[in-house]
Structure 1
């Protein structure tokens, strides 16, 4: 019997247009009373996740780790950290998810490991041990300075001196996260072996952390950046990382060779997938390069929609550029994740259910797959934490100009009136804000007008529309804060209009446009007699014949 009998299992491109729900395990649900979420907590809430109508889950790191960067510093790629449970718990999670028709993708942190990983512990002992060249080591300049001017994303030089080898090692993130040397074939084979371990355990795919950082270039200084543009997590005016053009320390052409090896491995397991995280000045170009041709990654996402710019013209620009560049590649879009300020706060929509519905509809009508971060279905705002409450090394380093990532990682509120919001019986690793209690799952379940119910309705509607899931896309020029686009798949054509204004907008529309009978209430625009009327933050979707011309105009 096929694993997912409700789907066409003769095709292995389930990921194309899939909605993937990101789970940050530390903050999802604690079942053992230590204040930290665990794998059993995910198992206990799989029915809730399935009820949303998503296709898959993405588990942020749960591997054995000293937790300097909360799991993105891996000391055992094949181990489950005891705070999250056991390998047997993970196996039960995969089986339980599959029983509910949910696929399971997991983070893989391939470009670097923890400095506590046995590979690095051996590598740093001498210059001639079997793993001496498994990490990126370099001699100092004649004056003892680091080999290059490269900067780490979390502040300071990307080179750390090691007294045992009397050399520097490269770390693009924390000093406790040394970069692996992907120019060494043994390293590539070892990493692919770690990936294969999880494929054999039945995972359906991988989210690949900072995937464009796997290879470095010549040890040459990066040139200065002419203008500091806010974007990827390290590109800010308060961080020296943002002062350089990163020509030599990441996004090297050799990285494509590794990606092809990785894709060949995944192709041995039909139906598995990959989504790469890309942080780069030309992230859209890298997304295109990394997903074109069918022998690289299945899809990529970037930080282009994870900034604080929410004006419709700012949203439309990366989407239209992506379509012009990606060819046969495939994008994945997200409006929030564990690295950026929560959407409701970042895009100034706290408590504004109508606007949050609009943002969700915007995300779900684009060409590409979708990542939905836990709590976005509840409209959680960013948590306001004091300096003393911070645990994120980035926030601690750059306070107060940058408050770090803790504000988007606080525990998920399950029950408004329960201690710690029903997340745990103990004091959680990050505090649950009082502002999150009225948005708890139980409160929204009881309110038919809540964002949670709207999320379910929009996800279910999208799943019924092949044109929205896999169709081609065409954008129209922005009209009076209304984004208009068309999606088409196998002869079905849908017209989509999204009103970002706080006022009603009316546009010309084809007389043949017909609203869909099964459209849920959040889709509230009206098509009548050649006119489309959109309320403030309104959403409109209609079916229309191919030969009906649409030139939206006020």
Structure 2
């Protein structure tokens, strides 16, 4: 292995802004967002105070799962533009000081990928073992009880090979066989292609799904989950199993080490992995430890509806106990879950709660990832059944409506047609509730969510303790979550009232002389004689 390239660690504490390309900006009037549209809006993202962008997939795809079913890992789908458009995007981002991370969907491909077309043609072709194939049981049933996240068995019968192939998602998304060294090498070569084009890192889709149990053992039963599983809605039987054998296998760690060694050949690059696991925090800690696997990872613990101070304290307490030298990426929203404003705030979210959530995210130990529109406080869009696009929602309707409600077009100007997204009818309707929250309606308005986010992100850049400092949780409280961040002589007390009730909270020992740390924009708290007066959803950053 060659010597490691230098890495300036920009990602360690850097703010990543997730873009869902279909829904960001339509530049050519076809109703679908594209790469030139994103390039035209990079100044907005840089002005917001983000350090980098993560682009959801824009590769060639039949779009059965909107780009998460790749048919060519090395080309741009024409609906998004061209490779030259991507080169122009990277160049402009770098001019603005923004890093560019792209989504890599490595665990599975489209069934239209040439690899799978060849693999399914016979049992003895050159790529026959590139996907997960298995014989039926004697009674014709699939080889085991593994389930697809999108509903039904994870096995699809193929009448050509007279075998089943595995798919963790749609039947049109067959899983690659990572036990085959040739598959691993082909994937690494495709990763290299984009690194050579100048990308600064990757978001790895389903990063713990690469390997399956060689023996194809059935998963043990779990029963219907009684609590909330943020990753899988309770109406989905996928959550009724302990996923012991269909993912998160030991071999996954070895491949991640190979992937990390490759990225270490390129300066200042990074990877953040998506972890969907029975123990997301534990897997996140395992996959980011040791400096030889993922740089960062995120799980789904903050992507559910639980937001109480006691829940958050227990979550971060366990995280601090197990993370060691690992590094988390904290997301409060993304393209796979109900938007934060609705999940945490209900039908009429309190703006103070949304600001408190942002302040929490920006002050945790780790790297924050903002999903487009969070900075505007967008609620989940209501989508009529006839407008649904997401195959997940179409399968699980009506109890689970899928992911379209968080994927609607970005509202740029509420006074323009389609909120300034583009001249044509967009692929998903613009939510009427988003029009008064559009960028143009909030820009320059002192009390707006957008101005608050912008102030918070720029202020955070000047706080070394919040960027890379250690984190010490203070004792649990039924209303208040509090912790101390410390780095290079700076100590910051972070106090958040996750409640709609005002209270007095006693300052911890040694903090009697604390003073507010100015500039964050966080409000609703007042230091008063050894305690903090906290308004509903109030918070405070203080220092000595």
TM-score by length of 2: 0.96
**Alignment partner of 1:132 is 2:128:** yes
Q: C-alpha distance in 1, partners of 2:460/2:156?
A: 49
Deviation of 1:322 (Å): 1.0
Coordinate RMSD, CA, aligned: 1.3
Question: Is the Cα contact below 8 Å between 2:6 and 2:268 reproduced in 1?
Answer: no
The 5-angstrom pairing of residues 49-198 of structure 1 reads 49-198=45-194
Deviation of 1:514 (Å): 2.1
Deviation of 1:480 (Å): 4.3
Q: How far does the alpha carbon of each residue in 1:313-370 deviate from its partner, in whole angstroms, 9 at most, with x for none?
A: 2222222111111101111111000000011111125452211100101111110111
Q: C-alpha distance in 1, partners of 2:118/2:36?
A: 34
Question: Is the Cα contact below 8 Å between 2:257 and 2:292 reproduced in 1?
Answer: yes
Q: How far does the alpha carbon of each residue in 1:10-45 deviate from its partner, in whole angstroms, 9 at most, with x for none?
A: 752111111100000000000100000000111110
Deviation of 1:232 (Å): 4.6
Q: How far does the alpha carbon of each residue in 1:98-136 deviate from its partner, in whole angstroms, 9 at most, with x for none?
A: 000100000000000000000000000011101110000
Query: Does the residue aligned with 2:360 lie in a helix, a strand or coil?
Result: helix
Counterpart for residue 422 of structure 2: 424
Aligned pair partner of 2:396 in 395, 398, 402: 398
Q: How far does the alpha carbon of each residue in 1:73-100 deviate from its partner, in whole angstroms, 9 at most, with x for none?
A: 0000011000000000000000100000
* Pairs aligned (count): 534
Aligned pair partner of 1:296 in 275, 293, 298: 293
Question: Is the Cα contact below 8 Å between 2:62 and 2:69 reproduced in 1?
Answer: yes
Using the TM superposition, name which of 445-454 and 74-83 deviates more: 445-454
User: Against the structure 1 CA distance between its residues 12 and 449, is the aligned structure 2 distance closer, same or farther, given a 3 Å change threshold?
Assistant: same
Q: C-alpha distance in 2, partners of 1:368/1:438?
A: 32
Deviation of 1:513 (Å): 1.2
Query: Does the residue aligned with 1:263 lie in a helix, a strand or coil?
Result: helix
Deviation of 1:508 (Å): 2.3
Counterpart for residue 539 of structure 2: 539
Aligned pair partner of 2:410 in 409, 412, 420: 412
The 5-angstrom pairing of residues 301-380 of structure 1 reads 301-348=298-345, 350-380=348-378
**Stretches of structure 2 lacking an aligned partner (at least 5 in a row):** none
Q: How far does the alpha carbon of each residue in 1:236-262 deviate from its partner, in whole angstroms, 9 at most, with x for none?
A: 332221111111100000100100000
Deviation of 1:294 (Å): 0.6
Q: C-alpha distance in 1, partners of 2:477/2:239?
A: 34
Deviation of 1:535 (Å): 2.1
User: Against the structure 1 CA distance between its residues 244 and 56, is the aligned structure 2 distance closer, same or farther, given a 3 Å change threshold?
Assistant: same
Counterpart for residue 44 of structure 1: 40
Q: C-alpha distance in 2, partners of 1:386/1:31?
A: 26
**Alignment partner of 1:443 is 2:444:** no
Q: C-alpha distance in 1, partners of 2:244/2:6?
A: 43
Q: C-alpha distance in 1, partners of 2:210/2:100?
A: 24
Counterpart for residue 273 of structure 2: 276
Using the TM superposition, name which of 87-96 and 304-313 deviates more: 304-313
Deviation of 1:530 (Å): 2.2
Counterpart for residue 552 of structure 1: none
Query: Does the residue aligned with 1:236 lie in a helix, a strand or coil?
Result: coil
Q: C-alpha distance in 2, partners of 1:300/1:425?
A: 38
Query: Does the residue aligned with 1:90 lie in a helix, a strand or coil?
Result: helix
Counterpart for residue 512 of structure 2: 511
Query: Does the residue aligned with 1:211 lie in a helix, a strand or coil?
Result: coil
Question: Is the Cα contact below 8 Å between 1:523 and 1:541 reproduced in 2?
Answer: no
Q: How far does the alpha carbon of each residue in 1:423-442 deviate from its partner, in whole angstroms, 9 at most, with x for none?
A: 01000000001111000100
Query: Does the residue aligned with 2:54 lie in a helix, a strand or coil?
Result: strand
Q: How far does the alpha carbon of each residue in 1:441-500 deviate from its partner, in whole angstroms, 9 at most, with x for none?
A: 000014211000000111111111010010000111233411110001122211110112
Q: How far does the alpha carbon of each residue in 1:389-438 deviate from its partner, in whole angstroms, 9 at most, with x for none?
A: 10100100010000000000000110111010110100000000111100
Query: Does the residue aligned with 1:347 lie in a helix, a strand or coil?
Result: helix
Question: Is the Cα contact below 8 Å between 2:103 and 2:204 reproduced in 1?
Answer: yes
Counterpart for residue 495 of structure 1: 493
**Stretches of structure 1 lacking an aligned partner (at least 5 in a row):** 1-8, 545-554
Q: C-alpha distance in 2, partners of 1:480/1:167?
A: 55
Question: Is the Cα contact below 8 Å between 1:525 and 1:541 reproduced in 2?
Answer: no
Q: C-alpha distance in 2, partners of 1:82/1:315?
A: 43
**Alignment partner of 1:257 is 2:254:** yes
Counterpart for residue 522 of structure 1: 522
Q: C-alpha distance in 1, partners of 2:486/2:120?
A: 56
Deviation of 1:376 (Å): 0.3
Query: Does the residue aligned with 2:386 lie in a helix, a strand or coil?
Result: helix
User: Against the structure 1 CA distance between its residues 10 and 457, is the aligned structure 2 distance closer, same or farther, given a 3 Å change threshold?
Assistant: farther
Using the TM superposition, name which of 10-19 and 457-466 deviates more: 10-19
Deviation of 1:231 (Å): 1.8
Aligned pair partner of 2:471 in 463, 473, 478: 473
Query: Does the residue aligned with 1:268 lie in a helix, a strand or coil?
Result: coil
